[in-house]
Amino acid sequence: MSGEGQELTDETLLERVAARDRHAFDVLVARHQASLFRFVRGLCRSEADAEDSLQETFVTLWRRGTRDDAAPIEHARGYLFQVARHAAFRRGRRRAAEPATFEGERTLAQLGAEAGWGQAEVNPERYAQYRESADALARALARLREDEREVLVLRDVEGLSGDETAEALGLSRAAMKSRLHRARLRLMAELREVAP
Amino acid sequence: MKNDRQEGGLWCHEVLADLADYVDGELDDARRAQVEAHVAACDNCARFGGAYGEMVASVSRAAPDVPDQVADRLRRALDEQLG
Ligand SMILES: [Zn+2]
C-alpha cells in the first residue's frame, strides 16, 4: 500500500469513498482489516467463515458508502464492527447459545469476590505478567461468555472508544459500560486459573 | 462484601463499582479524588484496583496481526466484487 492517505481520518476517507475513491477505500481496508479479522475470528466457528465475514464487511462498506441516497456513515470503526458482527452471526455462532440461568445475573460484589477481591495473590505484579503472555490471555478470553468476550475484545483488545463499542454492539453507552466492567471482572476470575 | 470498609468517604463496594470508569479516565475530578483517597487507605482495594488496571493494560497487547494469505484473499475478493 502506498503511503498516500495514511494520515487522513476515517471520516475524511469515508467522504472520499462516497466519491468512489477506491484508493481511500483501500486505505480503510489496510487500516482496519487486522482488528476486524481478529474480532470475527472470535465469533465464527471457522477461519473460512471469518474470512467471508471480513470480505462481506468491506463490500458492504463500499456499497453503502458510495450509494447516493444513503445517510453518511459517521463513525467508521463503530459502523465496521457492527457490520462485521452481523456478518459473522449470519454464518452461525461459534457455540450454542448459553443456557438461561435462573439464578439471575450475579451482583458486582459476587463478581468481585470471584475475581479475587481481598485475596493476597490478586495483585498488580501478578497481573502485569500477562503482558508477556498472550496465550494465557487468549485461553482465559475463550472461557468467557460470548457477550462478555465481544465487549472486552472491542474495547480493550482492539481499543475502540466507548462510543464506538456501544455503536458496534447496538447498546446504550451505560449498558456497554456495565457489561464491560462485568466482563473484565469475569476475565480476572478466569485468569486466576491460568498461570501467567 | 466481606471486609467492606469506608475510607475517603467511599465504601469498598462503591470503589469496585467505579473501577472501570476510574481506569478509563471517566470519573469527574471530585469522584476520582475520593477513589484515590480510599485506595491510599485500603490495601484490599489498592491490590485489586492495581490488578484490574494491569489486566486491562495487558489485554491490549494480545492482538496478533492478520495472516498474509487472509489479507491477499481479501484484496482479490474486493477487486473481483467492486471492480
Ligand atoms: Zn476498599
Per-residue pLDDT, A66: 86
User: What pTM was computed for the model?
Assistant: 0.85
Confidence class for position A53, pLDDT limits 50, 70, 90: very high
Residue A152: list chain B partners with CB under 8 A.
Answer: 59
Element of type H or E holding A74: none
User: Are the C-beta atoms of residues A165 and B71 closer than 8 Å to each other?
Assistant: no
Domain of B12, in residue numbers: 6-82
Is the pLDDT confidence value at B77 over 80?
A: yes
What CATH number is attached to the domain comprising B63? 1.10.10
Q: Is A116 left (phi over 0), alpha (psi -120 to 50) or beta?
A: left
Question: Using CA atoms in the order A112, A116, A119, A125, what is the torsion angle rounded to 10 degrees?
Answer: -120
- Which of A2-11, A46-55, A86-95, B60-69 has the lowest average pLDDT? B60-69
Answer yes or no: is B1 within a domain: no
Place of cell 474486493: B78
Question: What sign does the CA torsion over A31, A35, A37, A40 have?
Answer: negative
Contact A127 B59 (CB under 8 A): no
Confidence class for position A97, pLDDT limits 50, 70, 90: very low
Is the pLDDT confidence value at A19 over 80?
A: yes
Domains of chain A in sequence order: 10-90 (1.10.1740.10), 108-194 (1.10.10.10)
- The structural domain count of chain B equals 1
Is the pLDDT confidence value at A57 over 70?
A: yes
Phi, psi of A72 (to 5 degrees): -65, 150
Contacts of A58 (CB under 8 A, 6+ apart): A25, A28, A29, A33, B74, B78
Contact B48 A118 (CB under 8 A): yes
Cell of B11: 465504601
Answer yes or no: is B76 within a domain: yes
> Predicted ipTM?
0.88
Question: Using CA atoms in the order A114, A115, A119, A122, what is the torsion angle rounded to 10 degrees?
Answer: 160
Residue B2: list chain A partners with CB under 8 A.
Answer: 113, 118
Contact B82 A113 (CB under 8 A): no
Cβ atoms within 10 Å, residue B58: 23
What does R_g of chain A's alpha carbons equal in angstroms? 19
Cβ atoms within 10 Å, residue A35: 22
What's the gap in Å between the CA of A58 and the closest CA on chain B? 8
